[in-house]
Amino acid sequence: MTQSSGSIRFILNDREIALTTVQPTATLLDFLRLEKRMTGTKEGCAEGDCGACTVLVGRLSAGELVYESVNACIRFTGSLNATHVVTVEHLAAKDGTLHPVQQAMVDYHGSQCGFCTPGFVMSLYGLWLSKDNPGRADIEKALQGNLCRCTGYEPIVRAAEAVAKARPDAVFDPIVKARNEIITKLTAIRSPQTIRMTSDDATLIVPGTAADLAEVLADHPQATIVAGSTDVGLWVTKQMRSLNPVIFINGLEDLQFIREMEDGIVIGAGVSYSAAFLAISARYPAFGRMLDRLGGEQVRNMGTIGGNVANGSPIGDTPPPLIALGASVNLRSKTGQRTVPLEAYFIEYGRQDRKPGEFVESIFVPHLPEDDHFAVYKISKRRDEDISALCGAFRLALNNDNTVASARIAFGGMAGTPKRASNVEKTLIGNLWSEETVRIAQAAFEADYQPLTDWRATAAYRMLTAKNLLLRFFLETSGEPSELVRFAAGEK
């Protein structure tokens, strides 16, 4: 039985698709492979970590047509309204002539078993579309979400460098060629009307405005709100959970804003990590550098800071810097709005201060005073695209006599929630900012945290490293090199 108002409409390569029955948990990858029998896009892990299923999704953003790589395995079909989905099948010309990105992968022996290759091609294609003359750091960043087990990546990076250097005329490119046509089509599809669809008793809702979202949530307070689906996707693919109803907010323009205020910035809950990157790295460079290592490119294109906060995970990477910066959460419901300091939003493991019917509308991040020291350190087994063993953020203001005026230190991975190191802060405040003070303050970590042992790290390592990161912060503020850097600033 299907009840629907509206349909999920998008463009798949060069075809328009209109779906009137979509299960809320149906994925784009299954749609491509099972329904369309388009098997170029592969399933490697079904959790957004390997990139074999990478496709590009184009969307209108402030009138511009923007293409981003995403993981089709955890992208829900219901979230695709008014987008252009581009798969590997779309790249080569009709006569079989390969796209330059594909040809470079052939010429430089970038494939061995070939299973990850369509995903790499799509990630490199996304880079090719979005960046002129990328350097090695850009290439590695664009490939953080793609695993290859055969090549050791060297030939893939060589292929990417070759394409970057010899950037051919783009007139043959299927996206470049059809850009205006696609903009026209997507504009036509886009509708502020709420889409509602029930199939097999499961309902998906795509609200057209924030007010609609508040309305829908009032009716369905237990609904699952899905923005980037980088976590909820796994509830479906791995835990086989049935979610009903599901509200997709990734296309909700009302939540896609970054507002510059006098005293800070407000980031709409629907803003992806990628979209927030420029604003954040300009104001809080250390936070920006950490964002470069959060997930892979696909996850950063999908996931949102709002979701990272709302979700309440103790190992989310944005809460520690946000707490250190003194951020607050703006919650909204049909009946009104309220603001909560972020550190108070996390009540305990698995429990946040979000009432039924409320949703996270935005995050307010205060400006960092010019003289404040601010650092973010993400520690993980693998440098990139790994969940943190611990993540620490430090913010410090010094008096003229070099004593500590104020300190805000927050850690993820050290407790059941992202949490401030209030004892450490207390030990620092009022004392001379010196290595000796740091040594004394290190002991206070034991009063703040009792970390756990798991597969990411032992409790002992977490505690020792947290202490050492305070020393790293001190050394950084005093100019002693204390952090490994793969590419120096400006290094190509």
Binding to other proteins, residues 443-482 (CB under 8 A): 454-458, 460-461, 464-465, 468-469, 471-472, 475, 480-482
Helix 459-477 to helix 435-448 angle (10° resolution) is 150
- Give kind and range of the element (H or E) at residue 128: helix 117-130
Choosing from 109, 338, 351, 355, the residue that interacts with other proteins (CB under 8 A) is 109
The nearest distance, CB 84 to other proteins, in angstroms, is: 18
Question: Is the Cβ–Cβ distance between 91 and 120 less than 8 Å?
Answer: no
Residue 98 CA to residue 85 CA, distance in Å, equals 19
Locate all alpha helices (DSSP H) within 202-257, ordered by sequence.
210-219, 232-237
Q: Is the peptide bond before 134 cis (omega within 30 degrees of 0)?
A: no
- Give kind and range of the element (H or E) at residue 438: helix 435-448
The nearest distance, CB 28 to other proteins, in angstroms, is: 15
Residue 369 CA to residue 362 CA, distance in Å, equals 22
Per CB under 8 A, the segment of 84-92, 254-262, 309-317, 367-375 that binds other proteins is 84-92
Site residues for other proteins, window 119-138 (CB under 8 A)?
121
Site residues for other proteins, window 364-383 (CB under 8 A)?
377, 379, 381-383
86 binds other proteins (CB under 8 A): no
The nearest distance, CB 234 to other proteins, in angstroms, is: 8
Site residues for other proteins, window 203-232 (CB under 8 A)?
none
Residue 431 CA to residue 371 CA, distance in Å, equals 18
151 binds other proteins (CB under 8 A): yes
Residue 107 CA to residue 161 CA, distance in Å, equals 12
Site string for other proteins, 297-336 (x = CB under 8 A): ----------------------------------------
Residue 58 CA to residue 251 CA, distance in Å, equals 12
**What six digits make up the tokens of 234?**
């796994």
The nearest distance, CB 156 to other proteins, in angstroms, is: 7
Choosing from 72, 74, 82, 116, the residue that interacts with other proteins (CB under 8 A) is 116
The residue type of 301 is N
Question: Is the Cβ–Cβ distance between 361 and 256 less than 8 Å?
Answer: no
Choosing from 60, 139, 269, 327, the residue that interacts with other proteins (CB under 8 A) is 139
Choosing from 21, 36, 89, 196, the residue that interacts with other proteins (CB under 8 A) is 89
Locate all alpha helices (DSSP H) within 16-77, ordered by sequence.
28-30
* Cβ-based nearer residue to other proteins, 81 or 111: 111
45 binds other proteins (CB under 8 A): yes
Choosing from 6, 7, 47, 334, the residue that interacts with other proteins (CB under 8 A) is 47
The nearest distance, CB 50 to other proteins, in angstroms, is: 5
Site residues for other proteins, window 383-402 (CB under 8 A)?
383-387, 389
Site residues for other proteins, window 231-270 (CB under 8 A)?
234, 237-238, 240
* Cβ-based nearer residue to other proteins, 395 or 456: 456
Choosing from 11, 72, 88, 391, the residue that interacts with other proteins (CB under 8 A) is 88
- Partners of 202 in the beta sheet? 199
Q: Which of 26, 24, 102, 88 is nearest to 56 (CA)?
A: 88
DSSP E strands in 413-469: the ranges are 419-420
